[in-house]
Amino acid sequence: MDDRTTHFAVDVKIDRTSPVPLYFQISEPISKLIADGTLPPGTRLEDELSMASRLNVSRPTARKALQRLVDGGLVIRRRGVGTQVAPAQIHRPELLMSLDAELTRAGHETATQVLEYLVRPADDAESQELGLPIDTPVVFVKRLRFSDGSPIALLNNLIPASLAPRRAELESYGLYDILREHDVHLATAHQSIGAKAVGRVEAEQLGEQPGAAVLTLVRTTYDDRGGVVEFGHHVYRASRYTFDSTLFTR
């Protein structure tokens, strides 16, 4: 059977007792098969109706699983053709995904410690970052992310309180995965990557020496209506983490 011309149905094992959302349990195994080349470009996937019936899930759950793959640039939808694995050249390392999902996809064991979770009225600077009126309730979160037992990043996020996940959720899942589960439609992000010498407190948290070089990332993420979903300022251990980019000519 040629998987490029037939509809491929991935054998997914669903654990309905798991706190992991069903759509994620469906989409993640498919994304891994695409990443390792098991599902080559052009492979046609089953439609959401067939998937929902075969896996005994709701049609919205199946639709959300496929949409997560579309949002990640892994599959494309074409009228009259259906859902296909996207051409290899657009499988970009810089997908709009949580660091937790990125590390998990790469085969690492992750953990998160929430260091701060503060609800407060937005000051002038924060209101400008989020595009909200001054004094609008916002949530500031500081997390320490671990990979294979070692600290790898400090993540500082400012989120409108109306969208912010609970502290317990952030200890178990990546921010973007939680927002998508809450029906926040992430669309685009603008980010700047830099470097600095780490200070004493951050060095202790990251397991680095004070003054060591670390990578920095400042990101503003928008939903499909152009509203700001979160503003992040992150610090990564340069000895453990790199940013990869793929550039294309027009």
Q: Where are the domains of the chain?
A: 7-90, 99-237
Residues near 106 by beta carbon (within 8 Å), at least 6 away in sequence: none
Position 50 scores a pLDDT of: 92
Q: Per residue of the chain (250 residues), what is the pLDDT tens digit?
A: 334 445 778 788 888 888 788 888 898 889 888 878 888 888 899 999 999 999 999 999 999 888 888 876 788 877 777 888 876 543 334 456 777 776 776 677 889 999 999 999 999 999 999 989 999 999 999 999 998 888 999 999 999 999 999 999 999 889 998 998 898 988 888 888 899 999 999 999 998 889 988 999 999 998 877 889 999 999 998 877 776 655 544 4
Specify the pTM: 0.61
Give the residue among 155, 174, 165 at the shortest CA–CA distance from 234: 155
Token output for 144: 């320490």
Position 95 scores a pLDDT of: 57
Q: Do domains 7-90 and 99-237 have the same CATH topology?
A: no
Which amino acid would we find at residue 105? Answer: R
What b/e readout covers 48-60, taking b as 16+ CB neighbours within 10 angstroms? Answer: beebbeebebeee
**Residue 173 to residues 135, 144, 151, 208, 230, Cα–Cα distance (Å):** 28, 13, 16, 25, 16
| Domain 7-90: CATH architecture, name and number where available | Orthogonal Bundle (1.10)
Position 12 scores a pLDDT of: 85
Please give the CATH number for the structural domain made up of 99-237: 3.40.1410.10
Position 204 scores a pLDDT of: 94
Position 245 scores a pLDDT of: 59
**Burial class of residue 192 (count of CB atoms within 10 Å of its CB; 0-12, 13-18, 19+):** exposed
Q: Cα(85)–Cα(23) distance, rounded to whole angstroms?
A: 18
Position 197 scores a pLDDT of: 92
